[in-house]
Every structure is written in C-alpha cells, then in structure tokens.
Amino acid sequence: MLTDSHAHLDDPAFDADRDQLVPRARAAGVTRIVTVGTDVEGSRRACALAAANDGVWAAIGCHPHEADKYASDPALAGLRDLAKRPKVVAIGETGLDYAKKFSSIDNQKKVFRAHLRLAAETGLAVVIHCRDAHEDVRAILRDELKPPARGVIHCFSGNARDAAAYLELGFVLSIAGPVTFANANGLRDSVRAIPMDRVLVETDCPYLTPVPHRGKRNEPAYVRHTAEAVAALFGVPLEAFAEASTRTARELFRL
C-alpha cells in the first residue's frame, strides 16, 4: 500500500495514456496518489482527475515559476474557490525557486505568503517547493504559520541540517527519484537522519524518474523503486516502510 504523495497527472506527457496511469499504479501496489496543480488551470485539472478516479486526491497551487502571473491576485481567488471542492487535500505546490528564477524573487515571496495564508484559512496542508532557497523558505514559514505546521517539503534535496530545521517546524519530508541516483550520497545521508515516520515518497512525475527507469517518462507506478531505496536506507522491508509512509500521508492529507 504505497502512496505517491506528489504527481502531475494532468501533464501533457500523459495525454496519450492518462487513463492507464492509475491501473498501472495499483498493479505496482500504489493505492493513493496526490496530483498537484502548478497554476489555476492545472489545479482545476487536478480536481477533475481526483473526482474521476478512486484513490486520487488533488493539491491546488501556483508553482513559484508562475509567480509573476499571479502576483496581481493576492487573494488567489481561483484557488480559494477550488479549495472548497471534495478531495482537495492541500495548498501547493508553492514556495521559492532560486535555481531558475523564472519569476522575480519578490513576486515568488508574495505569492508564497498568499498560499500559506490560504492554507491557514482553509485548514489544508501545504506542499512546499524549494530549490536553493532553504533559509528564505523557512523564514517565511516561521512568519506565516503557527507551529506545528501541517505540510510537506516536496522533493526534499537539502542536507541533514535543513531536514532537522523543517522537522522542528512540524513538516514531513518527501523523497523523490534522485535518491536512487548513483551520485546522490549526500541525499541518502540526509534521509538516514530523518525519522521514518516523517518521510513520504513521491514521483513528481513525469519528472525525476528513478533508477531503473531513469531517462524515461516517470509515472506513479515507479514510486515503488524510490520506496525500495528509502526502505533500504532505514534497514527495513519495503512493506514496513510502505505502511509507515502511507500512514504519514493519510494523516497529513487526511485521506
């Protein structure tokens, strides 16, 4: 009973076989999927996919790459309406991305804060995107959220110090396909330092495909490979880690 805690089932990469993703995931033991919007239209598509598929839930948000587009809508009116729909379990993904800076840092921060306020208003968990911005992300989280927070740092890529700081704030950490890469020793060391009951796994599909499918399109069924790698780091059978991580996902997202 695995959970893919972060997928993008609405991505055009799945246009040819989207209706086959959930059955293939179930065949691989993946019984729960959270599909995540990256803008308002994508969030609407995520809600529709959740409504149409058992075992699929939606997170709604505007990715930091899209912040310039939404900075003039501080109330995030489109998301506020979507948050009322059944099977919406989180706000996000939202956060800061200093690696690519497709939107200005000022607008990223403004839209990030708006998401956090919407999460506080609705009582939903938050899904956080962070690349090369851990200090600023944590400063904004401390400023906007009352501890302990209900949220996840998606596709965690920080070090053990970063992990400890997010755990102290109340967050859980989600691990994606890069943990299976040969050059990811630093990430694997960070994962070993996290309590197993504070870890989720995800695909971030169609991106970040784990070994042995690296180089191909990712999909929810492949989260099993990431889970196997994380279970090995904790020195437990896959079944034990799957049970623990799915319990954490159920509690976080109230599935």
State the greatest distance between any 2 C-alpha atoms of the chain, in Å, as a whole number.
Answer: 49
Residue-wise pLDDT for 121-145, tens only, equals 999 999 999 999 999 999 999 999 9
Per residue, the 3-state secondary structure of 68-133, as one string, reads: HHHCCCCCCHHHHHHCCCCCEEEEEEEEEECCCCCCCHHHHHHHHHHHHHHHHHHCCEEEEEEECC
Report yes or no on whether pTM surpasses 0.75. yes
Report CA-CA distances (Å) from 221 to 1, 2, 116, 117, 152: 12, 9, 30, 33, 21
Q: What is the mean pLDDT of residues 85-101?
A: 97
pLDDT-based confidence at residue 74 (cuts at 50, 70, 90): confident
Residue 147 pLDDT more than 90? no
Instruction: Provide the token pair at 37.
Output: 């919007």
pLDDT in tens, 28-41: 999 999 999 999 99
pLDDT at 53: 98
Q: What is the pLDDT of residue 216?
A: 97
Write down the pLDDT at residue 99: 96
C-alpha 75/C-alpha 69 separation (Å) is 13
Are 219 and 207 in contact by the 8 Å Cβ rule? The answer is no
User: Which band of pLDDT confidence, cut at 50, 70 and 90, is reported for residue 1?
Assistant: very high
Considering the domain delimited by 2-253, tell me its CATH architecture: Alpha-Beta Barrel (3.20)
Is residue 75 pLDDT above 80, yes or no? no
pLDDT at 148: 84
Give CA–CA dist 8/21, Å, rounded: 11
pLDDT of residue 106: 97
Average pLDDT of 117-121? 96
Mean pLDDT for the stretch of residues 92-120: 97
Task: Name the residue ranges covered by the structural domains of the chain.
Answer: 2-253
